A and B are shown apart, each in its own frame.
Chain A
Amino acid sequence: MAITLKIQRFLGEKKWEQEYRLEVETGMTVLGALIKIKETMDPTLTFTASCRSSICGACAVKVNDNAVLACETLLADLLKRYASDTLTIAPLGNFTVLRDLMVDWQPKYDRLKKIKPALQPKTEFSASEGCRQSKDEFKKYSKNSECILCGSCVSECNKSNLNSKDFLDPFIFSKAAKFVADSRDKDAVAHLEPAVKDGLWKCLNCQECAAKCPKGLSPAEDIEKMRIATFEKKMSSNEGSDHAMAFYDDVKELGRLDEAKLALKTEGLKSALRVPVAYRLMRSGKLNPLEQAKPIGDIEKVRAIMKAAKEKKL
């Protein structure tokens, strides 16, 4: 069947959308279509690709606003997914575009350097005898070593879309989490500190990264794991960690959330500055500061479970 690809073009200072119509051959991928266009219709169409087997990370693009690896995405599947014979193709989001679908990776490498992206081997290991690590310890980080630096995770990252200056790219958090979880590394804090400084607690938890990673990594989950590690390493608290702790404490005290006190626990005295919002909420009955939260009936059982969980390590 014939389909239309609307491709976002960009050259110099011009940006436009260009339509190409082509026949879909059996097994044709998005990359196959891009190559076909370049080779038979328009040699000026610019994109990057290398391995065409989902491992080099060069060919990620957005199709209908969702990042995919062009080399592994079958057109037939997309047509079915969107029930349409027209697809839009655009460069990855949260990257500077160089031309058409080609984006600039250089700034990402500079950001990657921030989290100390290399193993700091423990002193008992050596270059002549290598390291020791159990199979279970290996499993804790091996998934994270599968990141191919394709950029799909950051393309639709809601936080990065709003402001990426105070927030590292999701794949950078996954890289940091890899070293934090690697038993061969001697100093998790060296990777955690810059992660905290550059947005560890600012993730919106929208799970877009987990939905987009072609390798099945979950930067969102890696962010959670690093947050846990900041508690384990007794790193200093912040609004994000206090907020998380407030939930933990409320469940232990009451079984449920004490909404009236949440702001105070999270922000401390700063929450007093939120009076106008609080007033608005009280007026409509959304917030009742006088309400005294009571624990659920089975609170002792819940506390027993939480105590048992704390004593058992994951």
Chain B
Amino acid sequence: MRYALFPGCVLRGAASEAFLATVKVTEALGIDLVEIPEWTCCGASHMQDVDELTSLAINARNLAIAESMGLPVMTVCNTCTLQLRRAKAALDSDPELKAKVNEILAAGGYEYKGTSEVTHLLWVLASNPGLLDGKVAQPLNGLKVAGYYGCHLLRPPTVMNYEDALNPRSLEKIIGLLGAQAVDFDYKLKCCGFHAFWTAEKDVMQVTGKTVDNAAKAGADLLVTPCPLCQMQLDMYQPEGREAANSKAELPILHLPQLIGLALGMKKEELGIQRHISAVDKIRF
């Protein structure tokens, strides 16, 4: 099993621990990752606010490089997945647009064909649960895990159509395969607010606090998310969130590959968990 990895800016910057964990875990599971050379930022759901065509072209370029590698694309960030899939959906459904974008790409010597699919680590695992067979050396028995999907892996459902956006099950499935118990909580499909941090700060802090509080009240020992942006928001701003939501809850927030790594028997230091801000000590592995 081989993928062209699109790591995205966050994994190569503030959430480098997620990159570390992704590499270790995929290695252990026998998933071969080749980083897309010379990839650029996906626009992070902001660049299209300036110019949609540029945003499309930039992502078409990323996809074109993966196509030349002959590999499907895998990401570990919700927003990167959305941006790449959105570009792909737009180009694949509109031959005129595709031709136009290809004229633009020609300026850099690229061509978008539409031959590489775009997926996310969570989807790869949920579709291939056999990858975990015999690998769970340290089952997370007794651990109560709140699986937090984040928006962009589910919505808009026309583009992110891996599973039912209103009742997704993939994260719970993986949590279960790792031996932990998935905790259902009201905020599991809500938005962490990351993308509006600068414009609606008060609201964002409040929802950060409420999300953590809600997961804690549902009995979770920790929260796991397939999105490094959600992780950053819920982890880094937990102190401000607590204040805004008038909550006392303190919860470790893990990247999905970190939780898998723990179940595979890796130590929390190996997975970069000490780089997190909130409740790191509560992780006992």
- How long is the Cα–Cα vector from A312 to B10 in the complex, in angstroms? 30
Q: Taking A228-B50, A228-B51 as contacts, is the C-beta distance between A255 and B40 under 8 angstroms?
A: yes
Do A308 and B107 touch across chains, with their CB atoms under 8 A apart? yes
Asked if B271 is an interface residue, CB under 8 A from chain A, the answer is no
Does A118 reach chain B (CB closer than 8 Å)? no
A 31-89 contacts with B by CB, 8 A? 64, 66, 81-82
Q: Give the contact stretch, choosing among B124-132, B133-141, B196-204, B252-260.
A: B196-204
A243 with B41, Cβ < 8 A, contacts A211-B157, A224-B52, A307-B107 known: no
Q: A256-B41, A309-B53 are in contact. Are A239 and B199 (CB under 8 A)?
A: yes
How far does the alpha carbon of A191 sit from the alpha carbon of B103 in the complex, in Å? 34
* Interface check A120, CB cutoff 8 A: no
Residues of chain B lying within 8 A (CB to CB) of residue A301: 61, 107-110
Q: Please indicate the chain B residues that have their CB under 8 angstroms from the CB of A189 in the complex.
A: none
Let me know if B193 and A158 touch, CB within 8 A. yes
Query: What's the least CB distance linking B63 to chain A, in Å?
Result: 13
Question: Quick check: which of B113-121, B160-168, B177-185 contacts chain A, the rest being far away?
Answer: B160-168
Contact yes or no, A158 B190, CB < 8 A: yes
The answer to the question of A281 belonging to the interface, with a C-beta cut-off of 8 Å to chain B, is yes
Chain B residues whose CB sits within 8 angstroms of the CB of A272 once the complex forms: none
Q: How far is the CA of A202 from the CA of B191 in the complex (A)?
A: 13
Nearest CB of chain B from residue A248's CB, rounded to whole Å: 4
Given A207-B151, A207-B156, A309-B57, A251 and B43 contact (CB-CB distance below 8 Å): yes
Which residues in chain A, 278-311, are within 8 Å of chain B measured between CB atoms?
Answer: 280-281, 284-287, 296-298, 301-302, 304-310
B41 adjacent to A251 (CB under 8 Å) = yes
Chain B hits for A281, CB < 8 A: 14, 236, 277
B155 near A267: Cβ-Cβ < 8 Å: no
Q: Mark B49-61, 1 if CB is under 8 A from A, else 0.
A: 1111110111001
From known contacts A244-B46, A307-B107, infer whether A206 and B57 are also in contact, taking CB-CB under 8 Å. Answer: no
Closest B residue to A302 by beta carbon equals B40
CB pair A204–B191 under 8 Å, yes or no, is yes
* Chain A residues with CB under 8 A of B52: 224-225, 228, 314
Please report the C-alpha to C-alpha distance between residue A205 and residue B83 in the assembled complex, in whole angstroms: 12
A247 touches B47 (CB 8 A): yes
With A82-B167, A159-B200 known as contacts, the answer to whether A257 contacts B44 (CB < 8 A) is: yes
A255 touches B41 (CB 8 A): yes
Q: Which of B47, B53, B108 contacts A313 (CB 8 A)?
A: B53
Which residue in A218, A250, A285 is a CB contact (below 8 Å) of B41?
Answer: A250
For B86, give the chain A residue with the smallest CB separation.
A221
A312 near B100: Cβ-Cβ < 8 Å: yes
CA distance A244 to B49 in the complex (A): 6
Name the interface residues of B193-234: CB closer than 8 Å to any CB of A: 193, 195-196, 198-200, 202-204, 206-207
Q: Is the CB of B41 within 8 A of A247?
A: yes
Of the candidates A203, A307, A314, the one whose C-beta lies within 8 Å of that of B196 is: A203
Instruction: Say yes or no: B50 contacts A244, CB within 8 Å.
Output: yes
Query: Within the complex, what minimum Cβ distance (angstroms) separates A23 from chain B?
Result: 24
Contacts of A207 in B (CB 8 A): 151-152, 154-156
List A contacts of B15 (CB < 8 A).
Answer: 286
The reply to whether A205 and B14 contact each other, CB–CB distance below 8 Å, is no
Please encode chain A, from 221 to 265, with 1 for each CB lying within 8 Å of some chain B CB and 0 for all others: 000110110010000001111011111101100011101000000
**B284 to A: closest C-beta gap in Å:** 20
Asked if A206 meets B151 with Cβ closer than 8 Å, knowing A239-B198, A247-B44, A312-B100, the reply is yes
Contact A284 to B277, CB < 8 A, known contacts A251-B41, A305-B108? yes
| Binary interface encoding of chain A residues 104-143 relative to chain B, with 1 for a CB under 8 A from any of its CBs, else 0 | 0000000000000000000000000000000000000000
Q: Which residues of B contact A241 (CB under 8 A)?
A: 49
Cβ of A2 under 8 Å from chain B: no
Q: Tell me, in angstroms, the Cα distance from A303 to B232 when the chains sit together.
A: 30
Q: Give the CA-CA distance A302 to B56 in the complex, in Å.
A: 13
Q: Is the CB of B196 within 8 A of A257?
A: no
Give Cα distance in the complex from A247 to B165, angstroms.
Answer: 28
Contact of B57 among A163, A231, A306 (CB under 8 A): A306
CB neighbours of A259 from chain B (8 A): 9-10, 13-14
Give residues 30-49 of B contacting A (CB, 8 Å): 38-41, 43-49
CA distance A159 to B151 in the complex (A): 13
Q: Is B276 an interface residue (CB 8 A)?
A: yes
A278 to B155, CA, bound (A): 31
Q: Which residues of B contact A255 (CB under 8 A)?
A: 38-41
Give Cα A34–Cα B46 distance, bound, in whole angstroms.
42
> How far apart are the CA atoms of A203 and B277 in the complex, in Å?
27
Q: Does A269 contact B (CB under 8 A)?
A: no
Q: Which residues from chain A contact B207 at a C-beta distance below 8 Å?
A: 158, 162
**A to B CB contacts below 8 Å, 6 in the list:** A162-B206, A206-B155, A224-B52, A240-B199, A256-B40, A305-B104
Known contacts A259-B9, A281-B236, then 14 further A-B pairs from the complex at CB < 8 Å, ordered by chain A residue: A64-B166, A202-B203, A204-B203, A227-B49, A227-B50, A243-B46, A244-B49, A247-B44, A248-B50, A251-B43, A297-B38, A302-B61, A309-B54, A309-B56
Q: Chain A: residues with CB nearer than 8 A to chain B?
A: 64, 66, 81-82, 158-159, 162-163, 166-167, 201-208, 210-211, 216, 218, 220, 224-225, 227-228, 231, 238-241, 243-248, 250-251, 255-257, 259, 266-267, 277, 280-281, 284-287, 296-298, 301-302, 304-310, 312-314
